[in-house]
Structure 1
Amino acid sequence: MTYLGEGWDSRAELVGGRWVERRPRRPHIGPQLVRETVVMPWLAPLLPLPVPVPVLVSEDPVIVRHELVDGEVQPSPNAAQGKQLAEFLLALHAVPADEAARRGVRPTRLPVERFRAEVLPHAPEGEPLLDALAGLPTHTLVHGDLGPEHVLGRDGVLTGVIDFGDLHLGDPALDLAWALHSTPPEFADALASTYGVTADLRERASIWHQLGPWDEVLYGNDIGDPSLVESGLAGVRDRLRIWVPREPTD
């Protein structure tokens, strides 16, 4: 058994060179892992790239296992990979939300009250960002945590997308945040063209991109890690410096 690492929610080990075994880091994550064993076998055949399809190994303690998804993190994704990811997201976002809801997928409520209490006092210039969160859509099946560590590739092509623990019904622009705002231009442009990104989608993706470090602050507070809190606050301030709120329209 080889230790692979841990994220915010779970820790992973490689078993027999083929199977990824995951355990929750916090008690409330257990049901989330169990839900993946229900949703992912249904969802995987609908998507154009390989994804984890976990099975439940143990209920107490919760342990799930899935076959290793081939590939590595791509530090500089290319245009062809941008087109691939756009096709993946088009397929994911087209999945019927009511079918996902039948399998336990729900909207995720943003912790706006905690943002105001724990982040805003340290970055009061972020008030317009919190105001912009009102009315964002919650009607689409989204990955919910799409970033560089969850998009795998090899030899210039994508080979899989991993970590569906934050799968929920939400705003499709959330899945475009990193892809449009933190990737090489050739990747972002190819993705935007293939997906058909509108001005409104791009603006909402910018809002979600701004919000990323706010979650880091809350997580740092949850686990009592001041260094993580400070890192998150630095990210909040850095991103706010370049964010221009959209002017309200009549």
Structure 2
Amino acid sequence: MQTGKVPPRLADRWEQQLENVAWWRFEPTVVHGDLGEHQVMVAGDSVRGVVDWMDARVADPADDLAWLVAAAPDDILESILEAYRMRRREMRDPHLIDRARLSSEMALLRWLMYGVRTDNADVVSDGEGMLADLETMLFDDQGDGYRSRQRR
């Protein structure tokens, strides 16, 4: 669907990432499918459980990490990823975080497309604003830590 609402630099970036064959060599695993802060039950400093498994499926493990790369501070993210890697049995996935970032960016696109599909001007405006903010964060020289994490 061509809407003209996606900043061209983001569209080009996503196209390049989707065409990078090396990124897509991963071992599918069982994923939650809708993991976010409201599905993780925490008590004190430890995770006690994960709820709402209705969207569970076999897919890219990066899908479940997308919300973390978008929201977690760098030090927390690194700690979580280290624990995740220690628990996994298959070979190291060098592009796990790259795909997780792409998935988190695509969530913004899905929100915009939802607004377009439902003809909801408020959602469309919100989606356009979030994509503009993402573009600024990724491409402006004054970007924050997310951009620096992208370079790793």
Q: TM-score, normalised by structure 1?
A: 0.44
Determine helix, strand or coil for the equivalent of 2:82: helix
Determine helix, strand or coil for the equivalent of 2:95: helix
CA-to-aligned-CA distance 1:177-212 (integer Å, 9 cap, x gap)? 222331133321211111227542122222112111
Are the counterparts in 2 of residues 220 and 226 from structure 1 also a CA contact under 8 Å? yes
Counterpart in 1 of 2:63?
A: 174
Structure 2 distance, partners of 1:129, 1:170, is: 23
Report the residue type matching 1:177 in the other structure.
A
Counterpart in 2 of 1:235?
A: 130
Counterpart in 2 of 1:147?
A: 36
Structure 1 distance, partners of 2:27, 2:119, is: 31
Structure 2 distance, partners of 1:226, 1:218, is: 11
Counterpart in 2 of 1:219?
A: 114
CA-to-aligned-CA distance 1:138-164 (integer Å, 9 cap, x gap)? 833222222222222233322322233
Structure 2 distance, partners of 1:179, 1:213, is: 15
Deviation at 1:213, TM superposition (A): 0.7
Q: Which has the higher contact order (CA 8 A, sep 6+)?
A: 2
Q: 1:133 aligns with which of 18, 22, 26?
A: 18
Structure 2 distance, partners of 1:191, 1:218, is: 31
Deviation at 1:241, TM superposition (A): 2.8
- Structure with greater helix percent: 2
Structure 1 distance, partners of 2:83, 2:41, is: 19
- Structure with greater strand percent: 1
Are the counterparts in 2 of residues 211 and 236 from structure 1 also a CA contact under 8 Å? no
Structure number with bigger Rg:
1
1:183 aligns with 2:72: yes
Are the counterparts in 2 of residues 129 and 207 from structure 1 also a CA contact under 8 Å? no
Aligned-pair identity in percent equals 24
Q: TM-score, normalised by structure 2?
A: 0.68
Gaps of 5+ in 2: 86-91, 140-146
Q: For residues 231 and 128 of structure 1, do their structure 2 counterparts lie closer, same or farther at Cα, with a shift above 3 Å needed?
A: same
Q: For residues 130 and 189 of structure 1, do their structure 2 counterparts lie closer, same or farther at Cα, with a shift above 3 Å needed?
A: closer
CA RMSD of aligned residues (A): 2.9
Q: For residues 160 and 229 of structure 1, do their structure 2 counterparts lie closer, same or farther at Cα, with a shift above 3 Å needed?
A: farther
Gaps of 5+ in 1: 1-113
Q: For residues 241 and 144 of structure 1, do their structure 2 counterparts lie closer, same or farther at Cα, with a shift above 3 Å needed?
A: farther
CA-to-aligned-CA distance 1:121-176 (integer Å, 9 cap, x gap)? 44222222431234535833222222222222233322322233332332211211
